[in-house]
């Protein structure tokens, strides 16, 4: 597994690199956003570990936004000393798959890395059914192309993963805890409105422009993707 570590703190970078390499990962370390962008554009990665605060014009979030706009789908773990709820949500909304606050315990870092890579590898395996069709909504799972009523909809990787999970559990109540565990890999419920934020963004893309809404809120519980055959 090839990991790109983007971290300007030499001590922290060597600590993380050594720990990952002991687990069998092949780690490339870069210390600035411009160099990271070159690696991100021209190589494939199983995981990117990205420090939010970088020394050049590409801070972590702007770098993350750039690579997601180019439809790079590899998982990204954001590292940051900024621990506020707004900071964490901002990192995830920019395209991060997980957000770990510094200082962190090494076992937690390794556990989060394992979860992200396991999920990414599972998503790369072709399914027997490579297309999901619900009413006028169509998803090509191989190309990650989403259409509704013939109109192409651009989704971020996490938005697509969230939508696919909802569709596969259509007409069932899906709790916020279920989404946090299955989509983000959290096995506990952090004090965050992450699911509500991502559901809102997803609705704006697949429901709001159209007459019929698929995603319904179940007050106090979670959500339900509603489709009557």
What tens digit of pLDDT does each residue of 135-164 get? 999 999 888 899 999 999 999 888 998 999
Do 215 and 197 share a structural domain?
yes
- Please name which of 228, 150, 159, 142 lies closest in space to residue 197, comparing C-alpha atoms: 159
Do 210 and 135 share a structural domain?
yes
- Please name which of 92, 110, 113 lies closest in space to residue 45, comparing C-alpha atoms: 113
pTM of the model: 0.60
Do 7 and 106 share a structural domain?
yes
Do 51 and 100 share a structural domain?
yes
Predicted local distance difference test score (pLDDT) of residue 125: 58
Any bridge partners for residue 59, and if so which? none
From 102, 124, 146, give the residue that closes a domain: 124
Do 143 and 113 share a structural domain?
no
Do 85 and 30 share a structural domain?
yes
DSSP 8-state symbol, 190: -
The number of domains in the chain is 2
Do 142 and 81 share a structural domain?
no
H or E segment at 33? Answer: helix 33-42
What separation in angstroms does the CA of 140 have from each of 5, 64, 71, 95, 143?
31, 24, 15, 21, 6
């Amino acid at each position: 597994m090839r990991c790109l570590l983007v971290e300007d703190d030499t001590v922290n970078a060597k600590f993380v690199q050594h720990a990952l390499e002991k687990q069998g990962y092949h780690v490339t370390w870069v210390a600035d956003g411009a160099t990271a962008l070159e690696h991100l554009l021209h190589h494939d990665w199983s995981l990117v570990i990205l420090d939010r605060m970088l020394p050049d014009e590409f801070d972590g979030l702007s770098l993350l936004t750039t690579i997601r706009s180019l439809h790079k789908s590899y998982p990204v773990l954001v590292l940051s000393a900024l621990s506020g709820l707004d900071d964490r949500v901002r990192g995830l909304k920019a395209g991060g798959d997980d957000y770990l606050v510094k200082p962190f315990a090494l076992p937690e870092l390794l556990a989060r890395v394992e979860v992200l890579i396991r999920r990414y590898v599972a998503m790369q395996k072709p399914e027997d059914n490579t297309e999901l069709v619900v009413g006028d909504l169509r998803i090509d799972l191989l190309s990650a192309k989403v259409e509704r009523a013939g109109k192409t909809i651009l989704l971020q990787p996490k938005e697509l993963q969230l939508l696919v999970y909802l569709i596969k559990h259509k007409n069932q109540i899906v709790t916020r805890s279920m989404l946090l565990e299955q989509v983000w890999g959290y096995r506990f419920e952090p004090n965050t409105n992450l699911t509500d934020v991502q559901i809102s963004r997803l609705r704006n893309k697949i429901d709001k422009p159209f007459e019929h809404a698929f995603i319904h809120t179940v007050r106090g519980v979670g959500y339900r993707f509603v489709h009557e055959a």
